[in-house]
Amino acid sequence: MSKENKSFENIPWQVIKNYLAHSESVELNEEHKYMIDRVFSLARVFDRHPQRKTALALHRAKYPDISRNTAASDLDIALALNNSYHTSDYPFWHNWLISDCLDQIQAAKAAGDLKAWSAGHSIFLKAIGNKPIQETDPKLIEKHTFLLQVNHKTFGPTINLDDLDRIPSRIKEEFVANLYEEITDEEAEWMLNS
């Protein structure tokens, strides 16, 4: 940052504000007036042309006597002093708006003003908006297939558990009845020995 811009930072904000509101009545030296005019001119240019490179080129065209570093410093100061919609801190202002709405709702309720209380609620609902859509994990929505392997003698079908739920209960009973066969003691002894 150049010495010129460091001296700009030493100017009290109230003096800058008074100069912008009543430029004739505020006593500032010409160098400070020139710096203030330059910075606020660049802030207006940046609002119309939000790309940093374009805004700096237009600023240097308007003020050809300044260096590239001074123009960049002017832009940094302009952005710090004039938070436009390009650089605003949205979470801060959103939280401030919600907090202010809640304060107004509580004050209206304490005062017993139902009309203001109702209006505060409608403004609050607009301020918080809809719940943001959260990204879902693709693994959670992935279809899982569970297969039931049925081995009966030489017949071994694979049954999807989703399909099993859709089968009528009468057919399920027949299926289970056909799977279960009583065996004799001799067949059991043969199975154990084999």
Q: What are the mean pLDDT values of the chain's consecutive 10-residue runs (194 residues total)? A: 56 76 76 86 85 91 92 86 58 77 91 91 82 70 72 72 79 75 84 84
- Tell me what pLDDT residue 88 has: 54
Residues β-bridged to residue 147? 160
What whole-number distance in Å separates Cα of residue 116 and Cα of residue 122? 10
- Tell me what pLDDT residue 190 has: 87
Question: pTM higher than 0.75 for the full model?
Answer: no
- Tell me what pLDDT residue 1 has: 40
Tell me which H or E stretch contains 149.
strand 147-149
Question: Which tokens hold the place of 13?
Answer: 């904000």
What whole-number distance in Å separates Cα of residue 134 and Cα of residue 129? 15
Tell me which H or E stretch contains 159.
strand 158-160
- Tell me what pLDDT residue 158 has: 79
Place of tokens 């079908």: 157
